[in-house]
Amino acid sequence: MKFVHIADMHFDMPFRMLSDRADLGEIRRLDQRKAFKKMIEYIQQNEIPYLFIAGDFYDAEYIRESTIAYINHLFAEIPNTKIYIAPGNHDPYVKNSYYATFPWNENVTIFKGKVTKIEEKDFTLYGYGFEDFYVQNSNIEEIQLENQEKINILLTHCNLDGSDKTQREYNNLSSKKLKEIGFDYMALGHIHKNNIEENTNLIYPGSTISLGFDELGLHGMVVGDITKGNLEIKFVPLDEKELKEIKLDITENKTIEELLEKISLLEIEENKLYKITLIGERNFEINVYKLMKQIETKEMIKIKDKTKLGYDIEKIAQETSTLRGIYVKEILEKIQQEPENKEMLEKALEIGLEVLS
């Protein structure tokens, strides 16, 4: 039995934290549509009979009806594929959600907040969807398979083996208990990194496209072929752009012009989006927003400043006869008096030293 398994598409999310460039949100939302269309075309070309979507398919706070209509239009292009959706914490099946109110195609089944069993010719599917933004007791671990001779599949959005309070609020399940139940494949969502290389049938496909620089590497879908006692799965990339991070030590750079020249010499690959993380000691003021405007390379979409001041602050503070010494001493005293304003005062210290040096 062949299937495609995706999760965590997060259609229409704003991508505000992804980039310092204003237009990247719109571009990445278009990339979501491209990736989804590629998946539909793959299903058509390979005659895949089942599609499993394991939650956070869209972002309930931002999703537009036009996007739902676009999705459903593409679902109509694979009428012979049965589509099963298990809503997650970002797209729960609530009273006025599009899951509840939109006229979905006949080939679409959406699970609600009760474990539901569906008997297919090839397998038995157990599905569970969020009906709220938090789930603490789904009863999934209480499932008892009625026919162990048949292929049994679980579809849900969940966290595995979480120990802290936050993790336990998102349908936290024990991997040990799930394996003891005896499922042949568990199609999961919630974790944005795929685990296909692990020797397991508890599978997270990862986010369908990369949603941020904490999700480096390739993103796409899991394609599977399962018979009783044998599972073959592979990862198929869908995101046309890969996010990469470059760490740049600027200790030897003395001016913003030198830094810009260093950035211009970086080797940049096509279809990659880059975050530049500045490290080392800085000897001049860095304003990442101004810096972004001065960089013409469109693939560089974010700059993170993790540098430290390159001045010997304690030594300068001892310069009682110089203006910069008096300035540094006063700022250091203010930092001690107002620790809540430390970040702002350190920035003032940096700007002042650049002016006075």
Same domain, 145 and 290: no
Same domain, 220 and 286: no
Half-sphere exposure of 40 (CA within 13 A, CB side): 16
3-state secondary structure of 188: strand
Same domain, 76 and 27: yes
CATH number at residue 212: 3.60.21.10
Write out residues in the chain with pLDDT < 50, as ranges: none
Rama region for 21: left / alpha / beta (φ>0; ψ in -120 to 50; rest): beta
From 174, 206, 237, the end of a domain falls on: 237
Same domain, 230 and 108: yes
State residue 8's pLDDT score: 98
State residue 133's pLDDT score: 95
Q: Which helix (H) or strand (E) holds 224?
A: strand 220-227
Same domain, 99 and 172: yes
- pLDDT tens digits, one per residue of 239-278: 999 999 999 999 999 899 999 999 999 999 988 999 999 9
State residue 345's pLDDT score: 87
Gap between the Cα atoms of 95 and 170, Å rounded: 20
Same domain, 193 and 299: no
From 198, 214, 237, the end of a domain falls on: 237
- Partnered with residue 52 across adjacent β-strands are 5, 84
Same domain, 251 and 140: no
Contact 357, 322 (CB under 8 A): no
State residue 344's pLDDT score: 86
State residue 18's pLDDT score: 87
State residue 20's pLDDT score: 77
Instruction: Return the DSSP state at 190.
Output: S
State residue 357's pLDDT score: 65
* Domain region containing 276: 242-356
Spatial strand order of the sheet with 151-157 comes to 116-119, 123-128, 151-157, 185-189, 202-203
- pLDDT tens digits, one per residue of 189-220: 999 999 999 989 999 999 999 999 999 999 99
Same domain, 247 and 225: no
Number of domains in the chain: 2
Same domain, 228 and 136: yes
Gap between the Cα atoms of 287 and 291, Å rounded: 6
From 191, 220, 237, the end of a domain falls on: 237
State residue 47's pLDDT score: 97
Same domain, 248 and 228: no
Same domain, 181 and 98: yes
Looking up tokens 């260093």 gives 262
Same domain, 272 and 182: no
